[in-house]
Structure 1
Amino acid sequence: MKKLKHIAMGVVAALSITTAVAADNAVPDTIDFTIPFGVGGGTDVWARFIAPNLSNFIEGNPTVVIKNQPGGGSITGTNLFFSRAESDGSDIIGTSASTLFPYMLGDKRVRFNLDNWAPILASPTGGVVYVQPDLGISDSGDIAKLMNQELKFASQGPTQLELPILIALDLIGADVKPVFGMKSRGAGRLAFERGEATIDFQTSSAYMNSVQGLVDNGKAIPMFSVGVMNKEGNIVRDPAFPDIPTFEEAYESVHGKQPSGMQYDVYRKFLAAGFAFQKVIFVPADVPSEVLAEYNQAVRKMVADPKFKQEAAEQVGPYENAVGVDIAMYLGEAVKISPEMYSWIKDWLKSEFNYSL
């Protein structure tokens, strides 16, 4: 599995460059920000919040242009970025768990290599699973009533963002019938709103911006959140959704005990990899050192800014962003899976969805 070691070295080198060395306007006047998803999903919402803030903290305030390139659950746009991105700092990309998971699993469609990119910002997130109100439930305490019902889920694909959610729903005993092929989680949400899906999942930003209104109007019922992992490695309630139980709580309400075993271990692995590093901004690793230094300096200033912190909590959730070398040091480990886990997930994908890695 790829180590990302030279990325960490490159970022460290860039961070060692002083402000005096970096030339004015090292970053080009226009930055194309590739988002390999459609408009309206969690990554798109996050990117449109980040873009103007990033511009404000880069010397010269360059124009940041969002370029949506959906397809293949983010693989299409990410492959294109890998092959076409300029190395002068004018191209950056925002990835999601849907990008990391296929990479982790050795998906044959993946043509990109994370070793060739330097991460400059990682935004963790949470997420919520919710259902249609006509399933006979009124709140998350009724989740056991879902176990005997067929649940239709509009999904991007079995190895995309929804992977840990599909694992969790299977673990809890839900009868989920996914329909694959959605171009984004935003498309999945629209299918839910049209009544074509009876269960859906959105990351925090999309849930806060596009689903909370449905909940408030009685058109969606939250079931559980994925929670957040604390410093002790335990999953606790998401501070963005303190009134929504975690998956672990939901599982215990159905089965009377905490989840355990290989399937739960795999769920936690993909949850940690995909949600601690849920949204990552990369630049090509071979950008000039002064450009990488300026990006890192700008991002550090941005995430420390009180106004940004307040707006981020409101727009994408109260999560702590990671910057530069802090990401590179841990991302390589996060995307590694053990042979035992790989064997389990390979067999599970084949048996559940007839999907071959």
Structure 2
Amino acid sequence: MLVVIFLRALRAVPFLAASIVFAMGAQAQAVEFRTITIKVGYGPGGGYDQTSRLIARHFGRFLPGNPDIVVQNVPGGGSLKLTKMVLGSEPSDGSVIASVSEAMSYAPVLDPQNANFDPLALQWIGSLVNEPAYCLTAKSSGVDTMDKFLRSDFLIGATGKSSVTYIFAALVKNGLKARFKIVTGFEGTADIELAMQRGEIAGMCGVSSYNISGNRDTLNLIGTFGSGTVAGKEKLIRFSDKIGDTKVREAAALIETTLQFHHPLVVPPGTPKETVEALRKGYMEMVRDPAFLADVGKLSEMTVNATSGEDISRLVSKQLKVDPNVFETARNLVK
């Protein structure tokens, strides 16, 4: 009797093994995307909008199910409005991805009254750019040197107070006692550029090299933020190097760290681990794809230097562990 039972058990082993393999295969194929919407926290025409539309043309090829991807603009507060939507009301099934400012990673520390959320709750997918940012002015403004930029009375345009266009302008204004005033309320860099062309404002801060590649002849590059250089661009003075106070310079360096993951994509908290992993994997495959890189070359002089979602999460976590006194100084620096 025992022999019969043993033989039956042996015959069942292949079927059991096959069932396990089938189940594992089914689990591996469980993530499949349909239509995805990339929501952009800025208005049409600016850098975040352009890169999001670029990504939308290619990303689906690297995701299970090869989904169609559409883009929707949700401007407001330098992407703070969209960030709050992602943390509160957007679906967590991978059908919505958000293109938000990298400044959202420390917005709750610098502006806790308006940005009352946990940056670590955001699921970071990846970012395209890791390079310095600029302050620039229209040549028609007459503000064409560092000295004039710091000592003249004029207007700088920005989106919202949680955006890089405001934060980096405020860093210069407060850290170096500049005299310019910051005007907020623009939907994106395209609107700021239009206001510069009209002579309504003189310039803006916190923009990357590809934002200026199409109209370089009409702009003055004044100085930079962040470490490193941009290939083919003149070497400029780094604003934070001009700050004399050691504590203030340390706070400025903290703020500049977000330039390591410029133009990030995020998904809501609660998005399944397998979905996040599929998006992260597909993103890093996309940024190495020759067709994608060729399309980037048609758009601008942007150099793709991607940061993975895992690395962004580690950087954000590291940021939030900084000495509270440094955060306090940074908070005062960008008021």
- Normalised by the length of structure 1, the TM-score is 0.75
Map 1:1-357 to 2 at 5 A: 21-23=27-29, 26-123=31-128, 124-136=130-142, 142-161=145-164, 162-201=166-205, 203-204=207-208, 207-209=209-211, 211-216=212-217, 219-227=218-226, 235-239=227-231, 241-248=232-239, 261-272=246-257, 274-312=258-296, 315=300, 317-349=302-334
Aligned residue-pair number = 309
How big is the alpha-carbon RMSD for the aligned residues of Structure 1 and Structure 2? Answer: 2.9
Segments of 5+ residues of structure 1 without an aligned counterpart are 1-17, 228-234, 253-257, 350-354
- The answer to whether the 8 Å contact 1:27/1:294 transfers is no
Asked if 2 retains the 8 angstrom alpha-carbon contact of 1:185 and 1:202, the reply is: no
CA gap 1:342/1:112 in 2 versus in 1, 3 angstroms? closer
- The amino acid that maps onto 2:251 is V
Q: Using the alignment, how far apart are the partners of 2:119 and 2:239 within structure 1? A: 32
In the TM superposition, residue 316 of structure 1 has moved relative to its aligned partner by 6.6
Please say which of residues 327-336 and 147-156 is displaced more in the overlay.
327-336
Q: CA deviation at 1:298?
A: 1.2
Query: Relative contact order (C-alpha < 8 Å, sep 6+): which is higher?
Result: 1
In the TM superposition, what whole-angstrom CA distance separates every residue of 1:94-114 from its partner, at most 9, and x where no partner exists?
221342342232522235433
SS in 2 for 1:73: helix
Q: Following TM superposition, by how much is the alpha carbon of 1:21 offset from its aligned partner in structure 2, in angstroms?
A: 4.2
* SS in structure 2 at match of 1:190: helix
Name the CA distance, whole Å, in 1 between partners of 2:105 and 2:201. 26
Counterpart contact for 1:151–1:197, Cα < 8 Å: yes
Q: For the structure 1 residues 19 and 223, does the alpha-carbon distance in structure 2 shift closer, same or farther, using more than 3 Å as the test? A: farther
Shift of the alpha carbon at 1:259?
5.0
Equivalent pair of 1:34/1:81 in contact (CA under 8 Å) = no
Aligned amino acid, residue 275 of structure 1: L
Could you say if the C-alpha distance between residues 168 and 302 of structure 1 is closer, same or farther in structure 2, counting changes exceeding 3 Å? Answer: same
**For residue 100 of structure 2, what is the amino acid of its counterpart?**
T
Deviation at 1:221, TM superposition (A): 1.5
| Deviating more after overlay: 106-115 vs 44-53 | 106-115
For the residue of structure 1 that corresponds to 2:135, the secondary structure is: strand
**Alignment match, 1:12:** none
> Would you say the 8 A contact 1:236–1:246 is kept in 2?
no
From the CA coordinates, give the structure whose radius of gyration is larger.
2
Query: 1:283 Cα shift?
Result: 2.1
Equivalent position of 1:8 in the other structure:
none
* 2:280–2:308 CA contact under 8 A, matched in 1: yes
